[in-house]
Amino acid sequence: MSTFKAPKGTYDLLPPDSAKFLAVREAIAAPLRNSGYGYIETPGFENVELFARGVGESTDIVTKEMYVFETKGGDRLALRPETTAPVLRAVLEANLHKAGNLPVKVWYSGSQYRYERPQKGRYRHFSQVGAEAIGAEDPALDAELIILADQSYRALGLQNFRILLNSLGDQECRPVYRTALQDFLRGLDLDEETLRRAEINPLRVLDDKRPDVQKQLTGAPLLRDYLCDACKAYHEEVRELITAAGVVFEDDPKLVRGLDYYTRTTFEFVHDGLGSQSAVGGGGRYDGLSEMIGGPSLPSVGWALGVDRTVLALEAEGIELDIPSATSVYAVPLGEEARRILFAKVTELRKNGVAADFSYGGKGLKAAMKAANRSGARYALVLGERDLADGVVQLKDMESGEQSAIGVNEIVAELESRLG
């Protein structure tokens, strides 16, 4: 061990487990790529103001969880705690929304940073795959995103997840509800901090996890009963479209999210095998975000799924992903000349697209075959001195144990045909 450890709240992805993470990212990305979403990548840090204005000045993310720093040049930056605001910033900066093809549909994959209290499933560095559809107000777009997230989880084999759905209304109806909720909250027996929150961001109080608070909230007014006709009709259509697609969801009139930019459709994917950190993904519509960061009106919708928690969900359900072995052929040279010849063959195999590895470090036959086994390779190539003299190499099928001699010059063609 070195003097150093991974920082608190972080962990390293190491092989072979890291293959699971790649497979999860791929499983989430595949349906998006298949549905018109283009890949986007933005920097790991942004101007701190982007998040303050975008995610919301009074949110936990902005007030407590951001990694903020000042550069030597005097810029105030923050490691990204989320990627929706950065993606919208990038789209506006590049004028993608003016290219005449709305919505702009993009997906991303990458690290997020939040200074949270670490526990199982909650880290300070974690990874998301996300999708954003920018510049269109259409219930089918909200439905598309929910259906695609559901599809990726199904493709992974997950079953014990639920989709919670709500509408947070718009600029017309939410303020009316906000006032009603505030009036209600002021009459409760709440601690000072919660009362302060009720004044700044009353909807967040609904999300308070403490049982004594939840008990007092039983009779709280629900946004559902305050939605304007346009929001109601919009929400109804989203529900109909995902129902028609066979996606099962639960209406959760108390669902509020930890970010302030949401309007209308909001949803969360929760997994029942994860304990307290049960949200595996979340998202919704953010019709006002563009204007909040100085852009034009661009109604948009998106989600992000947590890769770390999705992997934990797979483990909770005992799902072993079918990850094919990375190596197909493992070459074992015995002696100097064999080493040169087999190394050249391995290089040739790789050029031809055959995944091949090599026994380095002058290992003897026994240790080298052990390594071949561990690599998961289907075939081993063993080249000894007698073989050299005969111009052949021993090709061993690691599954059946069968072994046969083939000509050194036939290696590539033979393995290509056997591996199909």
User: 408, 345 in Cβ contact below 8 A?
Assistant: yes
**Residue pointed to by tokens 């993470």:** 21
Q: Are 268 and 278 in contact (CB under 8 A)?
A: no
Rule CB under 6 A: is residue 256 a binding residue for ligand HAM?
Answer: no
Q: Is 153 annotated as a binding residue?
A: no
By CB under 6 A, is residue 114 in contact with ligand HAM? yes
What span, in angstroms and rounded, lies between the C-alpha atoms of 418 and 397? 10
**Interaction residues for ligand HAM, span 121-140 (CB under 6 A):** 122-123, 126, 128, 130, 132
Q: How many residues contact ligand HAM, by CB under 6 A?
A: 26
Closest separation between CB of residue 386 and ligand HAM, Å? 57
Run of H or E including 238: helix 229-244
CB of 57 to ligand HAM, least distance (A): 16
Q: In angstroms, what is the minimal distance from the CB of 415 to ligand HAM? A: 42
**Is residue 83 annotated as involved in ligand binding?**
yes
234 among annotated binding-site residues: no
Told to check if 86 binds ligand HAM by CB under 6 A, we report no
Q: Is 132 annotated as a binding residue?
A: yes
In this structure, are residues 89 and 97 in contact, taking their beta carbons and an 8 Å threshold?
no
Residue from 56, 86, 288, 302 touching ligand HAM (CB under 6 A): that is 302
Question: Taking CB under 6 A as the rule, does residue 304 contact ligand HAM?
Answer: yes
Q: Which is nearer to ligand HAM, 103 or 281 (CB)?
A: 281
265 binds ligand HAM (CB under 6 A): no
Applying CB under 6 A, among 31, 86, 135, 283 the residue interacting with ligand HAM is: 283
82 is in an annotated binding site: yes
- 218 among the known binding-site residues? no
Give the residue, chosen from 54, 56, 139, 282, that forms a contact with ligand HAM under the rule CB under 6 A: 282
Neighbours of 45 (CB within 10 A): 17
Residue 360 annotated as binding? no
| 143 binding ligand HAM? (CB under 6 A) | no
Cβ atoms within 10 Å, residue 291: 11
Cβ within 8 Å of residue 97, ≥6 positions away:
91, 104, 134, 135, 296, 298
Which of 37, 153, 161, 303 touches ligand HAM (CB under 6 A)? 303
Whose CB is nearest to ligand HAM? 306
φ and ψ of 400, to 5 deg: -90, -20
Cβ proximity to ligand HAM: between 151 and 265 the closer is: 265
Q: Which residues pair with 263 in a beta bridge?
A: 285
Cis geometry, peptide bond prior to residue 86 (ω within 30 degrees of 0): no
DSSP codes, 284-300:
EE-TTHHHHTT-----E
118 vs 175, which CB is nearer to ligand HAM?
A: 118
User: Of 34-42, 118-126, 204-212, 389-397, which part binds ligand HAM (CB under 6 A)?
Assistant: 118-126
Residue 270: CB minimum distance to ligand HAM, A: 8
Please report, as residue ranges, which positions from 25 to 84 form the binding site for ligand HAM (by CB under 6 A).
82-84
Q: Which of 257, 260, 411 is nearest to 331 (CA)?
A: 411
Among 27, 306, 313, 358, binds ligand HAM (CB under 6 A): 306
Counting every residue written for the chain, the total comes to 420
Under rule CB under 6 A, residue 280 binds ligand HAM: yes
**How many Cβ atoms are within 10 Å of 385's Cβ, its own excluded?**
11
- Residues with Cβ within 8 Å of residue 239, at least 6 apart in sequence: 165, 249, 251
Asked whether 178 and 279 are in contact (CB, 8 A), the reply is: no
User: How many CA within 13 A on the CB side of residue 196?
Assistant: 5
Q: Is position 309 an interface residue for ligand HAM (rule: CB under 6 A)?
A: yes
Within 10 Å of residue 293's Cβ, how many Cβ atoms? 17
Contacts of 194 (CB under 8 A, 6+ apart): 205, 208, 213
Per rule CB under 6 A, is residue 258 in the interface with ligand HAM? Answer: yes
**Among 352, 147, 120, residue whose Cα is nearest residue 240:** 147
Binding-site residues, in ranges, read: 82-84, 114, 128, 132, 257, 261-262
Residues in binding site for L-histidine: 82-84, 114, 128, 132, 257, 261-262
| Binding site residues, ligand HAM, CB under 6 A | 82-84, 114, 116, 122-123, 126, 128, 130, 132, 258-259, 279-284, 286, 302-304, 306, 308-309
